[in-house]
Structures are given as C-alpha cells and as structure tokens.
C-alpha cells in the first residue's frame, strides 16, 4: 500500500498558479462578452458571429463567411447603441474568416495484397496478349509477388 499523500494543484503549479488564474479570469470575461454580444444579434446570425478581440475600446467581431460579415456590418449601429450601455466602445470592426471544417477521418486505407495464385492468373493472362497491356499485366504480377 502506498503512503503517498495527495498534492494540491496549487503546489504542483507553483509560481504559474497566479498567471493561470489571470488567464482563466480573462477567458471568463471574454466568454461573458461574447455571450452578451450574441444575445443582441438575430437568432440566425448569432451562431455565425464570434468575438475576435476586445482591446482599447475596439471590438472586433468575426463572421464565418463574407455574407454573414456583410449582414453583421448592417447591424453595427444597433449593436453599438446596445453595447455602449455596458462597454466603453470606440469602434466596432467586422472581419470575415471562414471556419475551416475538416472532413471526419474516413476508414483507414488498407493496402490490397495479391495472392500468389492471383499473380499466376495475371501472368497467364499476359501470356496471351501482346503490346503495352501485356507488359502492364506482367509488371503487376511481378509487383504482387514481390510486395
């Protein structure tokens, strides 16, 4: 049985703990600001708009396509009047940055193997032919036997 005692996370993180606490606080503020902004947007636009940056009174909003960015630009006056009640705003900028969506990984490719019997059959087929097709079949049969 082990006699080791649990170690607090604060001890493990040591001097990095205050920096991480500040980072978590900033992330929380950012999440709350983004939620407040999305609450002021039309329901169909909100999922396509994200907080890009908030610095020195300039709010940068990012839309996931140029079409959504154009629609968001039309709403800037309304959005500005709504947000100025809570934030010291100097400017609202809109950027378009399409989200990169990666396709889900497909089934793993398995390299097909040719049995010696199949290679013999291909070689026999090549024997009855002339020209480039016969040469290609012979190469295939040799490759299958060596692979």
Q: What is the pLDDT of residues 99-144, one digit of tens each?
A: 766 677 777 776 777 888 888 888 888 888 888 888 888 888 887 6
- Domain range for 128 is 116-146
- The answer to whether position 135 is within a domain reads yes
User: Within this chain, do residues 35 and 79 fall inside the same structural domain, yes or no?
Assistant: yes
- CB-based contacts of 85: which residues, under 8 Å, 6+ apart? none
**Which among 98, 27, 24 has a CA at the least distance from the CA of 35?**
27
Residues written for the chain:
147
Query: Could you tell me whether strands 91-96 and 58-63 are parallel, antiparallel, or unpaired per DSSP bridges?
Result: parallel
Q: Which one-letter DSSP state was computed for residue 122?
A: H
- pLDDT band at residue 146 under the 50/70/90 scheme: low
Q: Is this prediction's pTM over 0.95?
A: no
**Averaging pLDDT over each range in 5-14, 32-41, 113-122, which range is the top one?**
32-41
**Does some domain include residue 16?**
no
| Mean predicted confidence (pLDDT) in 30-48 | 91
Q: Are residues 80 and 136 in the same domain?
A: no
> What is the tally of structural domains in the chain?
2
Q: Which two tokens stand for residue 60?
A: 């940068």
Q: Does residue 70 lie in a domain region?
A: yes
Report the alpha-carbon distance of residue 144 to residue 113 in Å, rounded. 7
């Amino acid at each position: 049985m082990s006699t080791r005692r649990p170690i607090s996370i604060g001890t493990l993180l040591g001097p990095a703990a205050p920096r991480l606490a500040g980072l978590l606080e900033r992330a929380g503020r950012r999440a709350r600001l983004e939620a407040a902004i999305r609450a002021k947007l039309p329901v169909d636009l909100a999922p396509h708009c994200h907080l890009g940056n908030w610095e020195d009174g300039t709010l940068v909003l990012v839309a996931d396509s140029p079409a959504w960015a154009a629609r968001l630009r039309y709403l800037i006056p309304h959005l500005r009047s709504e947000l100025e009640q809570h934030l010291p705003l100097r400017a609202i900028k809109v950027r378009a940055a399409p989200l990169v969506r990666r396709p889900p990984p497909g089934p793993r490719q398995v390299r097909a193997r040719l049995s010696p019997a199949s290679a013999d059959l291909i070689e026999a087929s090549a024997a009855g032919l002339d020209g480039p097709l016969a040469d290609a079949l012979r190469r295939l049969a040799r490759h299958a036997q060596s692979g």
